[in-house]
Amino acid sequence: MTERVVDVAGLPGEPLPLARPREVEAETSAARAGGPAPDWQRSDFCGTLRAADEGKVVVLDGWVQRIRDHGQLVFLDLRDRTGVVQVTCDASRTPEVHAVVRDLKPESVVAVRGRVRRRAPGAENPRMATGEIEVEPERLLVLAAAKTPPFPIGAHAPGEVDERLRLRHRYLDLRRPEMFAHLVLRHRFVKAARDFFDARGFLEIETPMLTRSTPEGARDFLVPSRLEPGSFYALPQSPQLFKQLLMVAGVERYVQFVRCFRDEDLRADRQPEHTQIDVEMSFVTQEDVLATMEAMMIHALGAVGRRPPGPFRRMSYREAIDRYGSDKPDLRFGLAIADLGPAAAGLPFPPFAKALGEGGSVRALVVPGGARLSRREIEGLAEEARERGASGLVWLAGGPDGWRGPLARPLAEAGDDAAARFLAALREGLAGPDGEAAGGLEGSLALLVAGPAEAASAALGHIRLRLAERLSLVPDGRDAFVWVTDFPMFEWNEEESRWDAKHHPFTAPHEEDLDALLTDPGRVRAHAYDLVWNGVELGSGSLRIHRRDVQERVFRAIGLGDEEAREKFGFLLEAFEYGVPPHGGMALGLDRIAMLVAGAATIREVIAFPKSASGADPLTGAPAAVDPSQLLPLGIEVRRGAPKA
Ligand code: ASP
């Protein structure tokens, strides 16, 4: 197991403020009865002692990180949340302390009174913040003995300790400096965000946890009502309707760091509960919301040592899909998808002619340096493209001796003009929309998909990300933020043969698309936007509908009858009759932001007490059966073996 010292105090930002007990006492001026005797009053923190403290008598509290027994000398690494300091016990100077320390188990809690001294020359440890000094103990108190922990409290390589075991003993896992640093990071980010909003007149307002279903498209967690058996509260999927009601109430600027619950099918990195930075503003344009959220991100990321380059890029949903095959494009690298259009028609290659003839397109990734991929690797990519719905993927690699691949022959057989046009289109594709990659086609690899435009782009979008990994296209330390705007208002629900709201049904459609609401819903664009960081969607938002007639048409477009709309959202519609300001907002996922800042592999790493990937909590055993006597007053009976939905 590698030992790595993580200096929490070394996180960017202010030093971790830990008020000393005496200061706390001075503040509260309440004398503590029955506390430790004054000479055991903690005076300092382990991780903050330095050479300048030489000669000082200190009292430290903490956990035994490890004991190294060298006979006459026993070294105790003492850890508190600020870091680790070495306590060196010499049998010839303090035999009683020496004898006790030898028998101490790691993770026991002790208090040490001793003197700070410089380490002997050559014994310094430059990897430790406190590596120049050590503490020579005079006395030691064992405050609580510990059992041998199920895993060491040092740095773990990912996967080195089974995650279930870590979650089962999360209180031990959180003692690890890396994990504690995640808690600090989260705290600092939230604090900075909160200050940012406060300075701009936002009010932090709590909305109910026991409420009605909210239309975010996921399944609700339900809470049975005892007072009205057979009725249920829903835990909020978001405070959407309440924050809109707060705008009707005249609050104008709302923010909440709020827990939201979505009972979704488990995917690797989903949690049934997550924290959103939830915002709503009145009398604003889309631009106002974007500018506010962008400034907040730059400010709060600054508080955790990240300086994202602003202004963030903007890209319409259409462009994101066409160019990157995704509504959350990773723009840390180029490799945009090119539409070869008519240039592809010039090649004597029937699949191209067929796709174009059917109103589809021929799209390509032109990969600089890609010709070095082996035929097998390219075939592997073709297989993945097919799995993603492409009818096939053909390729053309430029080598010093000419072209290779299935398109080499059609290219050779095309007329000079047609071949030149095709190669010019590839060259344009290589340069990308911003002309970011220059150079010739030699050494590059073109991967082409023919078929319906969106399917072709989606398949290539997937391949693009695979290539970025394989060819290490993401430059170290680069960050790319992008606002994806103008999402479609609706998406087709194949299973139920109807249109669904893509964001939620309170999203405002573009004014100029209103006439298509009922006639051609697929064409309607919404004032809806996502913020994307390095290919990860951080959150969504929109301007909201504040006209009753538009709201009614949107409900109708998604097949929600007047009766049902009134039943579900009548309270909101009624509120809207009493003077509703134009408003809009968004919500950003705090867990995802913390995960990306920490460079963590999953959001579970940045949540104090997360659920496992299967939605369980190995620490408390939740979810768990309850006593039948608890179910009785709720009018609920559990049927064993009921089919899973
Ligand atoms: N309620 C939305 C969500 O949770 C965010 C918003 O539209 O403000 O995704």
Evaluate whether 505 touches 554 at the Cβ level (below 8 Å). Answer: yes
Q: What does the alpha-carbon distance between residue 313 and residue 481 come to, in Å, rounded to a whole number?
A: 6
Q: How far is CA 497 from the centre of its chain?
A: 32
Q: What does the alpha-carbon distance between residue 587 and residue 275 come to, in Å, rounded to a whole number?
A: 10
Q: What is the mean pLDDT of residues 628-645?
A: 84
131 lines ligand 1 (CB under 6 A): no
Centre of ligand 1 from the C-alpha of residue 105, in Å: 50
**H runs (alpha helix) in 123-169:** 163-168
**Token output for 65:** 């990180």
Q: How many CA within 13 A on the CB side of residue 140? A: 28
Using the predicted structure, report yes or no on whether residue 613 has a pLDDT greater than 60. Answer: yes
Closest-CA residue to 59 (of 29, 80, 74, 75):
80
**Token output for 544:** 């909201």
Buried/exposed code over 141-156 (b: 16+ C-beta within 10 A; e: otherwise): eeeeeeeeeebbbbeb
Using the predicted structure, report yes or no on whether residue 476 has a pLDDT greater than 80. Answer: yes
Q: Find out whether the peptide bond into 623 is cis, omega within 30 degrees of 0.
A: yes
**Token output for 512:** 């100029």
Atom of ligand 1 nearest to the CA of 240: 1
Closest-CA residue to 253 (of 241, 238, 267, 243):
243
Q: Give the pLDDT band (50/70/90) at residue 643.
A: low
Q: What is the percent of the chain where pLDDT is above 70? A: 92
DSSP state of 596: H
- Output the pLDDT for position 20: 56
Strands 313-316 and 498-501: unpaired
pLDDT tens for each residue of 501-541 = 999 999 999 999 999 999 999 999 999 999 999 999 999 99
Using the predicted structure, report yes or no on whether residue 3 has a pLDDT greater than 70. Answer: no
Q: Cβ contacts of residue 592 below 8 Å, gap of 6+?
A: 536, 537, 538, 603
pLDDT tens for each residue of 294-352 = 999 999 999 999 998 889 999 999 999 999 999 999 999 999 999 998 899 999 999 99
- Output the pLDDT for position 438: 60
Using the predicted structure, report yes or no on whether residue 12 has a pLDDT greater than 60. Answer: no
Q: Give the pLDDT band (50/70/90) at residue 641.
A: confident
pLDDT tens for each residue of 184-210 = 999 999 999 999 999 999 999 999 999
240 lines ligand 1 (CB under 6 A): yes
- Output the pLDDT for position 194: 98
Q: Three-class SS of residue 205?
A: coil
Q: Give the pLDDT band (50/70/90) at residue 217.
A: confident
Mean pLDDT of the chain: 91
Evaluate whether 221 touches 244 at the Cβ level (below 8 Å). Answer: no
Centre of ligand 1 from the C-alpha of residue 186, in Å: 21
586 lines ligand 1 (CB under 6 A): yes
**Token output for 390:** 């492409």
Q: What residue owns the CA closest to ligand 1's atom 7?
A: 541
Could you give the dihedral angle defined by the CA atoms of residues 270, 271, 272 and 275, in that order, rounded to the nearest 10 degrees? -120
Centre of ligand 1 from the C-alpha of residue 587, in Å: 5
Q: Cβ contacts of residue 111 below 8 Å, gap of 6+?
A: 36, 40, 42, 59, 60, 61, 140, 141, 143
Closest-CA residue to 130 (of 17, 15, 20, 10):
10
Centre of ligand 1 from the C-alpha of residue 192, in Å: 21
- Total residues found in the chain within this entry: 645
Q: What is the mean pLDDT of residues 29-33?
A: 38
Q: Cβ contacts of residue 23 below 8 Å, gap of 6+?
A: none
Q: Which of 213-217, 299-303, 367-371 has the lowest mean pLDDT?
A: 213-217
Atom of ligand 1 nearest to the CA of 276: 4
